[in-house]
Amino acid sequence: MGVFENTHFDFPPIKSAEADAEKAEIHIFTGPNGCGKSTLLYALAAVFDEAKWGTCL
């Protein structure tokens, strides 16, 4: 997919589920123009907007 066509990420293996549970996660949204990447991110941001919705999660 464009600039990511030859990109490879090596992550170390998980040593234990308990130790790994506190780590952050990274998600990458890729796709062609107009497929809804920004719409998805705006929708997720609205879900986490406490000022607008209060505590939902």
pLDDT (tens digit per residue) in 13-36: 877 878 777 777 888 888 899 999
* Cβ-based neighbour number of residue 12 at 10 Å: 5
pLDDT at residue 52 tops 70? no
What is the number of alpha carbons within 13 Å of residue 26 lying toward its C-beta?
A: 3
Higher pLDDT, 57 or 35: 35
3-state secondary structure of 8: coil
Distance CA 13, CA 44 (A): 29
Q: What is the structure's pLDDT at 35?
A: 92
The amino acid sitting at 32 is P
Higher pLDDT, 36 or 50: 36
Mean pLDDT (the chain) is 78
pLDDT at residue 51 tops 70? no
